[in-house]
Amino acid sequence: MCPPAVMAAVSMAASIGGQLASASATNANADAVERSANRARRLEVLGLLDQEDQVQQDAASRMFNAERQARAARSLAAVGAGEAGVAGISARAILDDIERDALEFRHDTSGQRDRKLRALGRERTAADIRREERIGSAPRSSALSIGLGIAGSAVNWAQFEVSRNTPTDPDGSE
């Protein structure tokens, strides 16, 4: 039979090795979860950035087309008023109506664009939160948890040795 000191050393070495292997596996899993969460967030944010670009381009295109139509309407109204011999307040009222409509359209389009961009910004924030939740779902091993595991093994071994070496009476009582 091996001396108790050798058995204790082997037992502690096995416990330390087991704790370190468990910690390594736990940390490898946490690293994999973190890489996966980062990749998912990156893909989600790239999609959201594409949507933001599309919203910006759509709004700019709509405003450009509306401005072109407003210029054409102003020109047509000015030429029509000149040909009809209308001037002054009547012609100015028509031109002001066209300008007001163009301004209202730009304002509405800008507001819609801004609301869509804010919603997409909230989606990016939600993507960050989801990333953090995914990472938080796979905890890492700490030196404290490893130390507590080793200490627990040492206590278990010591309790076993104490119970094994405690003399008992022949009748079974201590």
Output the six-digit token pair for 63. Answer: 């405003």
Q: Residue 168 pLDDT more than 90?
A: no
Phi and psi at 167, nearest 5°, equal: -70, 145
Q: Average per-residue pLDDT in the chain? A: 86
Residues 6+ apart with CB under 8 A from 116: 55
Distances (CA, A) of 90 to 2, 35, 75, 95, 155: 114, 68, 15, 9, 99
For the segment 50-84, what is each residue's pLDDT rounded down to a tens digit? 999 999 999 999 999 999 999 998 888 888 888 88
- Work out the burial of residue 90: count CB atoms within 10 Å of its CB; fewer than 13 is exposed, 13-18 middle, 19 or more buried: exposed
Q: How far apart are CA 157 and CA 6, in angstroms?
A: 13
For the segment 80-117, what is each residue's pLDDT rounded down to a tens digit? 888 887 777 878 888 899 899 999 999 999 999 999 99
Residue with tokens 């924030």: 125
First vs last C-alpha separation in the chain: 26
- Work out the burial of residue 16: count CB atoms within 10 Å of its CB; fewer than 13 is exposed, 13-18 middle, 19 or more buried: middle
The pTM score is: 0.64
pLDDT category of residue 48 using cuts at 50, 70 and 90 = very high
Output the six-digit token pair for 11. Answer: 């037992």
Percent of the chain exceeding pLDDT 70 equals 93
pLDDT category of residue 1 using cuts at 50, 70 and 90 = low
Picking from 109, 119, 123, the residue whose alpha carbon sits closest to that of residue 56 is: 109
Q: How far apart are CA 57 and CA 43, in angstroms?
A: 21
- Work out the burial of residue 115: count CB atoms within 10 Å of its CB; fewer than 13 is exposed, 13-18 middle, 19 or more buried: exposed
